[in-house]
Structure 1
Amino acid sequence: MASLENSVIVGIDGSAASTGAVAYAAHTAATRRIPLVLVTSYTMPAAMFAEGMVPPQPVYDELEKECQPIVEQARATALKVAPDIEVSHAIVEGNPSQVLIDYSRKAKMVVLGSRGLGGIKGMVLGSVSASVASHAYCPVVVTREDTDDLDRTGPVVVGVDGSEVSAKATSWAFAEASARDATLIAVHTWMDPQVQAAAAGIALTDEDWRQLEEQQLETLSERLAGFSDRYPDVRVERVVTRDRAVRALVERAEDAQLVVVGSHGRGGFTGMVLGSTSRALLQASPCPVMVVRPESHS
């Protein structure tokens, strides 16, 4: 198997959602000019052996052999999308979540598939994806089975809130937009001051709203300035809105090829549970979602 360094890892299980994830991962590997690694796993049936007993090697060999058709199917899908990429694979005994988390320590990104709203199966969105997105050491992209992600040529969308992890997500978004020759739409939402003003008995005028929006737009521009200098080829569209973050991002994801969001970790990802914004995006986004955590390496 090729080195995991600077590669795209994709979790595979033979499902249609997994096949879509492979196609997306192969396309991404091609645009980035980096290798693709197909990863699947199996678990030893606990009922077959007494506790502490080491199964004989032929048992491992047979379980690995059963995974081979999944690998070959995924390889064919990847090479159909990107004939020139380097493709390797790994068939690993162990919990699929932990396998992918371990691999994420060196990988550029991990890609997983989702069957759509609430869809859960094996290596796709569900407990595995929640765990991987919660603990991976690199960004995790979740694709959707019910959309043709490769036909999308629209913008890359990123949520910007001024936090450190948001800056990391913004950096990834610029890199993806550059690699895809796509426009970047930077979306900044803020706590609706109308609620606060109403509570204080203050009526905001149209001029007040205009000044607030100008201030927020200036703040957003400042947060993007350094990245624009690093990626002068990326055209940036700045959006400031009082809408809820998820709704604003989903709305602009309709024609997008990727939405990038940072996860704060505190009150966001807890154990196996995704944070509210990331979870809602993974459920509602019409395009692939990249989740970037504070621990994500570049």
Structure 2
Amino acid sequence: MSTYQGAAVVGVDGSDVSKGAVAYAAKTAAGRGIKLHVVMAYSIPSTMFAEGMAPPQQLVDHFEKEAEPAVQEAMQIARDAAPELEITGAVAEGNPAQLFIEYSREAKMIVLGSRGLGALKGVVLGSVSAHVATNAFCPVIVTKADTVANINESGPVVVGVDGSDNSIRATEWAFSAAKARGTSVLAVHTWMDPEVQAAAAGVILSEDDLERLSGEQRTMLDDALGNLREQYPDVEVETLVTEDRATRVLVEKSRDAQLVVVGSHGRGTFTGMLLGSTSRSLLQASYCPVMVVRPQACSSE
């Protein structure tokens, strides 16, 4: 069994951003009762050795020696944040994005800092976070320096719900995260103005039509939450159904949240969240860490 199976894996790059991600990952892992694996992934520039050849061992040893202090520092940050937590660490050579995607096959979750300015040459973590979130096999949490420093630890876990199967998986993770944090869930469903859509199709909607459509949206949200309310009876749930853009609502609600959870490849308002401008806007503009849950994500328990 690998040292990171079932663990929270956090990437470090020697930057202050990644140090904040480590502290956040440690507290998250401790709340879930899982171990933490700290990884410094680096790549050796191809200009430093002949094309088509493996990097000389001397060069590999140099990079690993340079990276090891940062790993040890990160592990100490994790111990300070969660003293009882089981922590392991490693230095790994290779394409950082591909390495963390491989880790995601066995990890419980991946935690990465965004926009890290690596203190070590060849270690650039911030540039890979969105790519990993788009392709990982487990949920990925992306943090920024300000989102970690300003977290409202009494705030809710916010989740975007659109009725798709992947959205349901994201909602499961949101409830699980809320339970681990001892907080509530705010389930958000946004939908486009039906009058605008109808007008574009040359249809006029009556007041009864609008009321019926609004009721259908609320019913969809209630149905999506039904089983989870029973599974997590101690988790308080608040719902919000509104006619607005998903990103705008989620960013606004992230101001007072501990975490925003979204599913990728959903339908409706959240379609393409990880592939288009909506996801990039959310990852960049959110006031708290963002968890991305892909269709093949592991169980939340």
TM-score by length of 2: 0.89
Give the Å deviation of 1:217.
1.3
Distance, in Å, in 1 between the alignment partners of 2:30 and 2:185 is: 20
Q: Which residue of 1 aligns with 2:225?
A: 224
Give the Å deviation of 1:150.
5.2
Residues 197-229 of structure 1: CA distance to partner in whole angstroms, max 9, x if unpaired? 333352643x65444333321221111101111
Between 1:25-34 and 1:69-78, the stretch displaced more is 69-78
Compared CA separation, residues 64 and 43, structure 1 to 2 (3 A): same
Number of equivalent positions: 290
Give the Å deviation of 1:296.
1.6
Give the Å deviation of 1:73.
1.6
Give the share of equivalent positions with the same residue, in percent: 56
Compared CA separation, residues 52 and 201, structure 1 to 2 (3 A): closer
Cα contact 2:37–2:89 (8 A) shared by 1: yes
2:138 counterpart letter in structure 1? C
Q: Which residue of 1 aligns with 2:137?
A: 137
Distance, in Å, in 2 between the alignment partners of 1:198 and 1:243 is: 17
Q: Which residue of 1 aligns with 2:193?
A: 192
Do residues 166 (structure 1) and 170 (structure 2) align? no
Residues 245-298 of structure 1: CA distance to partner in whole angstroms, max 9, x if unpaired? 1111112111000000011089737xxx73332211101110100011112222
Q: Which residue of 2 aligns with 1:268?
A: 272
Distance, in Å, in 1 between the alignment partners of 2:229 and 2:205 is: 37
Compared CA separation, residues 120 and 167, structure 1 to 2 (3 A): farther
Q: Secondary structure of the equivalent of 1:137?
A: coil
Cα contact 1:17–1:124 (8 A) shared by 2: no
Compared CA separation, residues 55 and 201, structure 1 to 2 (3 A): closer
Compared CA separation, residues 221 and 46, structure 1 to 2 (3 A): same
Between 1:252-261 and 1:209-218, the stretch displaced more is 209-218
Cα contact 1:32–1:179 (8 A) shared by 2: yes
Query: How large is the RMSD of aligned CA atoms in angstroms?
Result: 2.3
Between 1:259-268 and 1:235-244, the stretch displaced more is 259-268
Distance, in Å, in 2 between the alignment partners of 1:245 and 1:197 is: 20
Q: Which residue of 2 aligns with 1:235?
A: 236
Q: Which residue of 2 aligns with 1:202?
A: 204
Do residues 103 (structure 1) and 107 (structure 2) align? no
Compared CA separation, residues 154 and 265, structure 1 to 2 (3 A): closer
Following superposition of structure 1 onto structure 2, how do residues 259-298 of structure 1 map, counting pairs within 5 Å? Answer: 259-264=260-265, 268=272, 274-298=275-299
Q: Which residue of 2 aligns with 1:79?
A: 79
1:37 counterpart letter in structure 2? H
Q: Structure 2: 5+ residue runs without aligned partners?
A: none
2:4 counterpart letter in structure 1? L
Distance, in Å, in 2 between the alignment partners of 1:106 and 1:85 is: 19
Q: Secondary structure of the equivalent of 2:80?
A: helix
Distance, in Å, in 2 between the alignment partners of 1:134 and 1:240 is: 27
Q: Which residue of 2 aligns with 1:94?
A: 94
Residues 117-158 of structure 1: CA distance to partner in whole angstroms, max 9, x if unpaired? xx77654433x1121111111011001112315553200000
1:235 counterpart letter in structure 2? E
Distance, in Å, in 1 between the alignment partners of 2:246 and 2:52 is: 50
TM-score by length of 1: 0.89
